Structure 1
Amino acid sequence: MKTGTRVALLIDCDNVSSGAVESVLEELAKFGAVNVRHAHGDWSRREMSGWTERLHPNAIKPIQQFAYTTGKNATDASMIIDAMDLLYSSEVDAFALMTSDSDFTPLVMRILESGMPVYGFGERKTPLPFVNACSQFIYTESLQQQGEEKDEGAEPLKKRSRNELRGDTALVRLLRTAVEKTSDDDGWASLSRVGDYISNNSSFSPINYGYKKLSDLIKASELFEFRQDSKLVFIKDTRAR
C-alpha cells in the first residue's frame, strides 16, 4: 500500500468487544495512518461503559445513535451512512470495519467496487460471508492474544501445529494454489509474489493461525521447500520434487 495511506476505522460497538481496539489500531498502523476513528452506538446504554473508557485514550470519536424502534438496528444504518459519506469525500484511501455483523457485507462489496481495500476485524462468531468479503479479516481474539504476548509473564502466542495447518484443507489449497499460480517453470515462486496473490484473492491473515508472518506459517506447515537467492526468498511445493 502506498505511503501516506489514510484509513477510516468505523466501529460497530453493538457487535464487538472494546478489549481489542488498541490491538486493531496497532495492526492498522501497518497499512497507513488511521485519520478517521468513529465509534457508532447508543451511548446512553449502560453496556457501552467499556467502550466509553477507551474513546479518549485512543482519539476515537463517538457517534450517537439512539435505538428508535425495538428490534431495529439503527447503529447499522448510521455506520453505513457514515461510510458512504467518507467514500465520496476523497478524504480516505482505505476502510477498516470493526464488527461481527454480516449485515455489513454489502457495504464491504460496495467499497471494494470503488477500488479501496476493506480490513475487517471481528470476533470468531463473525459469519463467513462478511469474513470472506473483506480484503483481509483478522479475528479480534487472535489480536488480543498477540498483544498479551508482549506482557511480561504472559503465555506465548498459540500457534497452529504442523498437523493442524495441514489438516485445514482450505488453507492448504490456498497456499498451494498461490505457489502454483506465481511459480516459474521450475516450480519455484517468490515468497513476496505468493503473499501478493493471497492478499489479492482472499481475506487470509496469518495472525488468525497464531503467526505474525506468512513465511513463518508456511515454514511451520512443512509443505514447501525454501531457497534464499540474495535478498529474495523462494518456495516450492514439496510435491513437485
Structure 2
Amino acid sequence: MEKDRKIALLIDCDNASYQAVDGVLNELAKYGVTNIRRAYGNWKTPHLKGWEEQLHPFAILPIQQFAYTQGKNATDAAMIIDAMDLLYTQQLDAFALMTSDSDFTPLVMRILTNGLTVYGFGEKKTPLPFVNACSQFIYTENLLPSTESEESAEDLPHDRKKSRNELRGDAALVKLLRNAAEQTAGEDGWSHLGRVGQYISNTASFSPINYGYRKLSELIRVSELFHVEMRNNNKVMYIKDSRKG
C-alpha cells in the first residue's frame, strides 16, 4: 500500500527554509511514512537558529557537520554519504531531498537508478538540472504557511493559483498534459485521470502545487484544455482533448 511506503527526508539546512518544513512533511504524508528525518549543517553557527527550533516538534535528527575547510561545503558531502548508506542498508521506497543546491543532481540520478522515487523540495531559485532530475519537485514557497496581511488568509492560496490564461500560456505544461492524455487514451478517446497522472510522473518532474493547485484534477478543470466527464458515481474523472469532438 502507498501509505506503507518508507521515505527518508534529508535536509540541507544551509540551502533550505525552516519555515517550509511543516508543509514538506504534510506533502510527503500523501506518499508514505517519513520514518527517517535528518537535518545537516553546522549547528554551532547562528544562522541555523531557526532550524534548531524545528527539530524537536517535527522529530528531525540534527547531523553536525563542521566546516573543516573554508569555502568547501561539508554539508553536501555528509548528506551524500548518508544517502548512499541509507540506500544500501535500509529498505526504503523513496528519498526526499530538501535543498536548493544543484550539486545534489548526481545523487538524485544515482538513487533513481536503484528504482526509488526522489521528491525534491527547494526554493524557486533552484537550478533546473536538479529540478528536472527529481521524480517530483515542489517549490517550497508554495508550501509556506499563510500569514496575516492586508489580504485574508483565505485569499492567499487563491492568489497563488495560476489563472486559466497563465496555464494555457505555459507551452511546456500544455504539451505535457496533452501528450499524457493522448498516450493514455482508450479507444473512445477518453483518458482515466489516474493513468494520466501516472504517465506524467513517469516522464517529468511535475506537481500541480507549483501552479497553486493541490490536485491535478483542479488544474485540469481550470485550464479548460480538456472535456471532463465524471464516471463511476461521480468518483472517477476522465478527460479528452477539447480540440477533439
In 2, Cα distance between the equivalents of 1:7 and 1:46?
A: 29
Number of aligned residue pairs: give it: 239
Aligned partner of 1:92 in structure 2 is: 92
Match of 2:53 in 1: 53
Query: 1:227, 1:91 → 2: CA distance?
Result: 40
Mapped pair 1:148 → 2:146: yes
1:66-108 residue CA offsets vs partner (Å, 9 max, x unmatched): 1111111010000000100100012422100000000000000
How far 1:183 sits from its partner (Å)? 0.5
SS in 1 for 2:131: helix
Q: Note the residue ranges of structure 2 that are not aligned, 5 or more in a row.
A: none
* Change in 2 beyond 3 A, CA 1:149/1:5: farther
Tell me the TM-score normalised to structure 1 length. Answer: 0.95
CA distance in 2, matches of 1:125, 1:45: 23
Q: Judge conservation of contact 2:14–2:41 (CA < 8 Å) in 1.
A: yes
Residues 101-123 of structure 1: CA distance to partner in whole angstroms, max 9, x if unpaired? 00000000100110110000000
Paired residue secondary structure (1:239):
coil
- Aligned equivalents of 2:13, 2:206: Cα separation in 1: 24
The two structures, once aligned, show a CA RMSD in angstroms of: 1.7
Distance in 2 (alpha carbons) for counterparts of 1:91 and 1:65? 25
1:181 matched residue in structure 2: 183
Deviating runs (4+, > 2 A) in structure 1? none
Task: Show the counterpart of 2:68.
Answer: 68
Aligned to 2:139: 139
Establish whether residue 233 from structure 1 lines up as the match of residue 231 from structure 2: no
How far apart are 1:126 and its partner, in Å? 0.3
Tell whether the 8 Å contact from 2:184 to 2:196 is kept in structure 1 after alignment: yes
The structure 1 residue matched to 2:222, chosen from 195, 217, 220, is 220
Q: Which runs of 5+ in 1 are unaligned?
A: none
| 1:144-181 per-position Cα deviation (integer Å, ceiling 9, x unaligned) | 1xx4289x941331210000000100000000000010
Structure 2-normalised TM-score?
0.94
Distance 1:3 1:94 in 2: 12
Identity %: 66
Deviation string 1:181-237 (CA, Å, 9 cap, x unpaired) is 000233211111101111111110000000011010011011100112223321000
For the Cα contact (< 8 Å) 2:227–2:240, is it kept in 1?
yes
